[in-house]
Amino acid sequence: MPGWIRPGCFAARTAESLGKKSAGLNRHPTRERWIRACPKGCLAVYRSTNGGRTWQKQARGLPTRNAHLTILREAMSTDTCDPAGLYFGTETGQLFYSRDEGSHWHVLADFLPPILSVEAAIL
């Protein structure tokens, strides 16, 4: 499976076809054309609200200096709240979350083992 690619490289029109081109894409739980990606393992999340034609970087609250972190393919998830909560984990054991669809990020946990997969559920 190919690695992450820059958002500008997406030429697909649907999330299904984007998923075939790049790992780690995450669809909004209720807005069909909203897609999120963490390209090339950089610590930033990119959001598209039009099926991948344009992308906005969402990194407020994420480390920006010496942030040599990797986000694995299955390590990003959303919940079904409105606004949607977003969650992703890193290979070095940090778990980040956003309560406002990615506008602001926070650390939920640190010093965990490598995070290979993240799932969100409402209890």
Residue 87 has pLDDT above 70, yes or no: yes
Note whether residue 105 is domain-resident. Answer: yes
Note whether residue 84 is domain-resident. Answer: yes
Residue 93 has pLDDT above 60, yes or no: yes
Note whether residue 20 is domain-resident. Answer: yes
Note whether residue 119 is domain-resident. Answer: no
Note whether residue 115 is domain-resident. Answer: no
The average pLDDT across 4-19 equals 42
| 3-state SS, residue 52 | coil
Domain that holds residue 36: 7-109
The average pLDDT across 22-34 equals 58
d(C-alpha 28, C-alpha 79), whole Å: 9
d(C-alpha 41, C-alpha 22), whole Å: 12
AA letter at 44: A
pLDDT at 121: 87
* Number of domains comprising the chain: 1
Note whether residue 120 is domain-resident. Answer: no
d(C-alpha 31, C-alpha 39), whole Å: 21
What's the predicted TM-score (pTM) here? Answer: 0.69
Note whether residue 11 is domain-resident. Answer: yes
